[in-house]
Structure 1
Amino acid sequence: MNKFELKYRLSFFIGCVLILLSAGVQAQQKLQQFKPGALWMDDKGNHINAHGGGILFYNGMYYWFGEHKGEGSNNAYVGVTVYASKDLYNWKNEGVAFNVNDDKASLTQRGSIIERPKVIHNKHTKQFVMYFHLELAGQGYGAAYAAVAVSDKVTGPYKFLRASRVNPGHWPLNIPGGDRRQRINPDDYKTWWTDKWREGVEKGLFVQEHLYSGQMSRDMTLFVDDDSKAYHIYSSEENLTLHIAELSDDYTQHTGKYIRIAPAGHNEAPAIFKRNGKYYMITSGCTGWDPNAARLLVADQIMGEWKLLPNPCVGDGADKTFQSQGTYILPVAGKKDAFIFMADRWRPKNPIDGRYVWLPVQFKNELPVLSWLDEWDLKVFD
């Protein structure tokens, strides 16, 4: 080997080492911004797999729970994953919080549908309680179950308790007693989307139909109020009407008390927060995996009257919620009036590649406003 060859090989070797060292430094660099819609890597260098998720803040740490999705199916072949973060930008993969199984008799067998998992902590029982929308394997979206699981540890594993429809045998609090006694004949309302049909839905057509089997529960979220009372908010009545249902003191069951919101309004993907004693809910319409315009609902009491207001999104892309659909609204710990709207940009042909759109909730005339930002950080709340 002559001097020229030796010098060339040495230079090539040093160059490779420098490239590898540079890559290692870059891999260890911490994120300091949110970039809505971009690939979001965890501590292992993989795109975060926690779709339709929600976040629990506990003991100084944020825990992000979400659906684990594969490349070719939206069905659950792994379960619910969980990630942990102190700063909301950088996330450590903590593994699978809730596992599906291979038992063909199980309601949560591999291939079932698990959507929009949320976890809350019960300060009295010290348990962590998870709810999610469950559909049975091979049965499409016919079950419309609410599933419950619990754990003594925030990251799990979560033990499955039960899955069923909600509040069987109970009428909503905001259907008057007189309307409960008037039997509705389904044959009179066969043609959907007519004025007469809407009138039937508002009276409780689907509530009556599912009174004894329990009300349907699909897209959902959980909310714990200042008095520690917890509520299950879900899309019901064939995705036509939202329900807010009170949970028991241990958060694992429904009490039978619930209300209906916007009957026949076709709302799903509820995300709720509270500010200055007022409740706000951002939802979406029902267009499958395709995005649509968000809706805003406001109430002075969580079980009180909810008022429908215009789309909270403004600017370019507002009519499609910036190509996303909401899943949760996160209060940022330690910051006043700081809320993050969490949304999913679904990729049904390759579900694992679904992206996350996080945007700061701003306020104008005491109402939430969402605007697009290519990148941003928590200083926006200062």
Structure 2
Amino acid sequence: MNKNGTMWLDTDGNPIQAHGGMIEKFDGIYYWYGENKAGETVLKENGLHRVDFIGFSCYSSADCISWKNEGLVLKASDQPGSPLHKSRVGERPKVLYNEKSRKYVMWFHLDSHDYMTAHTGVAVADRPTGPFQFVREMCPNRFDSRDMTLFKDTDGKAYLIYSSDWNKTLRIAQLTDDYLDVNGVYSHAFPEQEREAPAIFIKDGLYYMITSGCTGWEPNNALFGISHNIFSGWKLIGDPCTGENARQTYFGQSTYVFEKDGRHYLMLDHWNPSNLKESGYSILPVRADNGHLTVSFQEYTSL
């Protein structure tokens, strides 16, 4: 069993490369998508640690404990000028299934090496294990977009939630019916609060959103907010983490909340900026009740 806060291994005994990712269940199987950072970490002239873009990995599991490597489902390109060129940034892939089109749709943060472009990328596949075909690079509703996630509501409508205005504000944009674009309906949450790494879920008609502060690769304290409406009324409540190292989110950063057997779990990345391929993971239980949210650290999570 993999230990929280450390590197995790797949069924072949190799380190799992699925950073900044998500876990979702499709047709009875859980799929974990994330950034493959198996390359060399280099320190750029702008002071940022980075690995050349390799692509996005996928792992599958029946129990969320043993993970089989399904390979790269979207690969970087060596072709100069390609939006997926290895010199660019590809982060935080999220995948939803669209019942109408019967397609799996991926959104991700797509950027230049210096993080100045701040766009999103969209790709689509016929199967959860891909291969995903790149559709477009875009600036959603003409706003910059960095850390982002997807959320599918109980009515089937889907939303892109992303850090914007140079990370000062989180924006919430509704997607088109096929999930391949934004439809022009959008709002914002937590203006001027400088939050990133959003992870959102709904329970008993109440929306919860966990976010991180903007401190680069360094850990900080998480905060959560609640709202009865996904577009308006968001209110910051406080830090959901409890116990030792709670103020540093257990030295991790939020990436996604998923549901298994009626319980919610928070995924964390434990970034190792000097060697990003050795960054670890945690999956921690989330307790949500009438606007109260608690995340507690466990050495091993029972799923």
Report the TM-score, using the length of structure 2 for normalisation. Answer: 0.95
* 1:372 has 2:297 as partner: yes
Q: Give the whole-Å Cα distance in 2 for the aligned partners of 1:87 and 1:343.
A: 18
* Alpha-carbon distance, 1:38 to partner: 2.4
Residue correspondence of structure 1 range 81-100 to structure 2 within 5 A: 81-100=57-76
Give the drift of 1:252: 0.2
Q: 2:157 aligns with which of 224, 229, 239?
A: 229
Residues of 2 paired with 1:269 and 1:67: CA distance?
14
Per the alignment, residue 264 of structure 1 pairs with 192
Q: Deviations over 1:243-298 (max 9, x none)?
A: 01000000000011111111110000000011001100000110110000001110
Cα offset, 1:365, TM superposition: 5.5
| Alignment check: 8 A CA contact 2:24 2:30 kept | yes
Q: Report the counterpart of residue 159 of structure 1 in structure 2.
A: 133
Q: Once the 2 structures are TM-superposed, how far is the Cα of residue 36 of structure 1 from its aligned partner?
A: 0.7
Higher relative strand content: 2
* Mapped contact 1:68–1:76 kept (Cα < 8 A): no
Counterpart in the other structure of 1:71: 40
**Residue pair 1:76, 1:100 contacting (<8 A) in 2 also:** no
CA contact 1:37–1:355 (8 Å) conserved in 2: yes
Whole-angstrom distance in 1 between the partners of 2:288 and 2:93: 28
Match of residue 78 from structure 2: 102
Question: Following TM superposition, by how much is the alpha carbon of 1:375 offset from its aligned partner in structure 2, in angstroms?
Answer: 1.8
Native 8 Å contact 1:312 1:369 kept in 2: yes
Paired with 1:38 and 1:75, the residues of 2 have a C-alpha distance of 20
Distance in 2 between the 1:101 and 1:71 partners? 17
100, 116, 121: which one pairs with 1:124?
100
Contact 1:128 1:151 in 2 (8 A): yes
In the TM superposition, structure 1's runs of 4+ consecutive aligned residues that sit over 3 Å from their partners are: 363-366
Query: Within 2, Cα distance between the matches of 1:258 and 1:37?
Result: 36
- Give the 3-state SS of the residue equivalent to 1:361 in structure 2: strand
Q: Show the counterpart of 1:133.
A: 109
Residue 264 (structure 2) aligns with = 339
Question: Runs of 5+ in structure 2 lacking a partner?
Answer: 43-49
Q: Secondary structure at the match of 1:344?
A: strand
2:119 counterpart of 1:145: yes
Higher relative contact order (CA 8 A, sep 6+): 2
- The residue type equivalent to 2:116 in the other structure is G
1: CA distance, partners of 2:168 / 2:210: 16
Cα 1:157/1:76, change in 2 over 3 Å? farther
In structure 2, the CA distance between the partners of 1:49 and 1:113, relative to structure 1 (3 Å rule), is same
Select which of 54, 58, 82 maps to 2:22: 54
* 1:301 aligns to 2:229 (yes or no): yes
Contact 1:75–1:112 (Cα < 8 Å) also in 2: no
Tell me the distance in 1 between the aligned counterparts of 2:187 and 2:204.
22
- Residue 47 of structure 2 corresponds to which residue in structure 1? none
Give the AA of the match of 1:307.
Answer: K
Q: Secondary structure at the match of 1:226?
A: coil
Unpaired runs of at least 5, structure 1: 1-30, 168-213
Deviations 1:65-99 (A, max 9, x none): 00000232433432000000000000000000001
Q: What is the SS of the residue equivalent to 2:24?
A: strand
Q: 2:243 and 2:119 mapped to 1: Cα distance?
A: 37
Taking the aligned partners of 2:82 and 2:281, their CA distance within structure 1 comes to 31
Select 1:251's aligned residue among 162, 179, 182: 179
Distance 1:270 1:81 in 2: 20
CA distance in 2, matches of 1:301, 1:154: 30
Query: 2:291 and 2:85 mapped to 1: Cα distance?
Result: 45
Q: Following the alignment from structure 2 to structure 1, what is the Cα–Cα distance between the partners of residues 271 and 34?
A: 13
Match of 2:250, SS state, is coil
Query: How many corresponding residue pairs?
Result: 295
Report the counterpart of residue 37 of structure 1 in structure 2.
5
| 3-state DSSP of counterpart to 1:40 | coil
- In the superposition, the TM-score normalised over structure 1's length comes to 0.75
The one-letter code sitting in structure 2 at the alignment partner of 1:147 is: G
Which one of 227, 244, 247 corresponds to residue 319 of structure 1? Answer: 247
Question: Would you say the 8 A contact 2:70–2:129 is kept in 1?
Answer: yes
Is residue 35–residue 375 contact of structure 1 (8 Å, CA) maintained in 2?
A: yes
The answer to whether the 8 A contact 2:283-2:301 is kept is no
Matched letter for residue 203 of structure 2: R
Name the SS of the counterpart of 2:214 in structure 1: coil
Could you say which residue in structure 2 is the equivalent of 1:199? none
